[in-house]
Amino acid sequence: MLCPTIAEIVVEAPRVAKAALPGQFLIIRDEEKGERIPLTISDSDPVKGTVTVVIQLIGASSHRMVEAFKAGDCYADVVGPLGNPSDFVEMSPEELKAQHYVFIAGGLGTAPVYPQAKWLHEHGVPVDVIIGARTQDLLIYTDKLASACDNLYLCTDDGSVGFKGVGTAKLEALAAEGKKYTKCVAIGPMIMMKFATLTCVKLGIPVVVSMNSLMVDGTGMCGACRVSVDGKTKFSCVDGPEFDGALIDWDEAMRRSRQYKPEETAAMENYGK
């Protein structure tokens, strides 16, 4: 448990570990009739044959995945790596030299920021990371990210540690200080990614977001994870999960993210009965 509501799970999956790249995700089904849950890969170790995911306990499926399984147990399915890797993976050494990335991580989104920042840092790209949470107790991966970037900025809504305020306000403060970035990557709650996008557009910084849309099969067949990008229908699972934040219809995406709230509430109320 990284904090009372967020768990880190290390899964033995050698072939996935060898193939995983920053930005990709898994779909895990805990039991035969269980929900298929998409989870971004927050770390992988090809030598040990393990992949790491981080999950927030918010519904019946996530609670069961954490509470009903112990070390040595097996999930029914672990499928991946799925989705497209981050665009910088395909950049040439010359292109990478010209980059200066800033990441804005909100809550659970901090974990998938880690493999991206780590990859860039290992390839000599300057990287700054801004982590935001409501309070100090909800900050995760701070030690890992401190070693995977050039500058780490902590932000809390209550001011319990670091900058008092949200991550987008910190980005504006850094820009006011003269910081220049070639790209921003924002990962976190959808509302946070929307406002990170608006801030980056105002500052003239290209912005990429990782869409944590609802999914079923993860192969582009069901259409559950569709998102409107530049007026065109895309699927987070096969076209993403990363998109240009400035091209996303955020109001539609947020409406879709709430469409199963009644079912989720009912499932949680019946959990454990």
Q: What is the pLDDT of residues 99-133, one digit of tens each?
A: 999 999 998 899 999 999 999 999 999 999 999 99
pLDDT tens-digit series, residues 13-33: 999 999 999 999 999 999 998
User: Could you tell me which CATH class the domain 87-209 is placed in?
Assistant: alpha beta
Q: Are 142 and 131 in contact (CB under 8 A)?
A: yes
Token pair belonging to 131: 């982590």
User: Could you tell me which CATH class the domain 6-82 is placed in?
Assistant: mainly beta
Closest C-alpha among 237, 153, 250 to residue 197: 250
Token pair belonging to 155: 């932000």
Q: Are 126 and 100 in contact (CB under 8 A)?
A: yes
Query: 211-254, what's its fold?
Result: Dihydroorotate dehydrogenase B (pyrk subunit); domain 3 (2.10.240)
Alpha-carbon gap, residue 36 to 207, rounded angstroms: 29
Q: Return the minimum-mean-pLDDT range out of 86-95, 146-155, 221-230, 235-244.
A: 221-230
pLDDT tens-digit series, residues 47-84: 999 999 999 888 888 899 999 999 999 999 999 999 99
What ranges do the domains of the chain cover?
A: 6-82, 87-209, 211-254
Q: Are 102 and 167 in contact (CB under 8 A)?
A: no
Token pair belonging to 144: 């890992």
Alpha-carbon gap, residue 55 to 61, rounded angstroms: 11
Instruction: Tell me: pLDDT of 273 over 70.
Output: no
pTM (two decimals): 0.91
Instruction: Tell me: pLDDT of 85 over 90.
Output: yes
Token pair belonging to 161: 């540690």
Determine the residue type at 249. Answer: D
Closest C-alpha among 193, 195, 231 to residue 212: 193
